[in-house]
Amino acid sequence: MQVQLTLSYIVTTDHSASSYGQPVLVNLGDEMAYAPSDSVELYSGWGRKPAALHVQRIFDWRQRQLSQGECTLVESFIKGFATV
């Protein structure tokens, strides 16, 4: 399953970096995958932070546009940061 967060990023379990069903954040431009705790700057000016914090920021304004299943997948990615 995958969720299109922005034009550039998805959260998915359909990537080789995903293990045991844990979703990863994937940059569609270069196919780089990030775990929730990976430090990354998604967009210029956002600062370098754990991927889960950036995904939470996007999820906050996209949540109403997503299905329940999509929300569950994104929430699973975000919660993955808390378990690291």
pTM of the full predicted structure?
0.93
Amino acid in position 49: K
72 vs 57: CA distance, rounded Å? 16
Match 């949540």 to its residue by tokens: 63
pLDDT tens track, the chain, 84 positions? 999 999 999 999 999 899 888 999 999 999 999 999 999 999 999 999 999 999 999 999 999 999 999 999 999 999 987 654
Q: Domain boundaries in the chain?
A: 2-82
66 vs 50: CA distance, rounded Å? 22
67 vs 29: CA distance, rounded Å? 25
CA dist 74 to 7, 22, 44, 45, Å? 16, 10, 22, 23
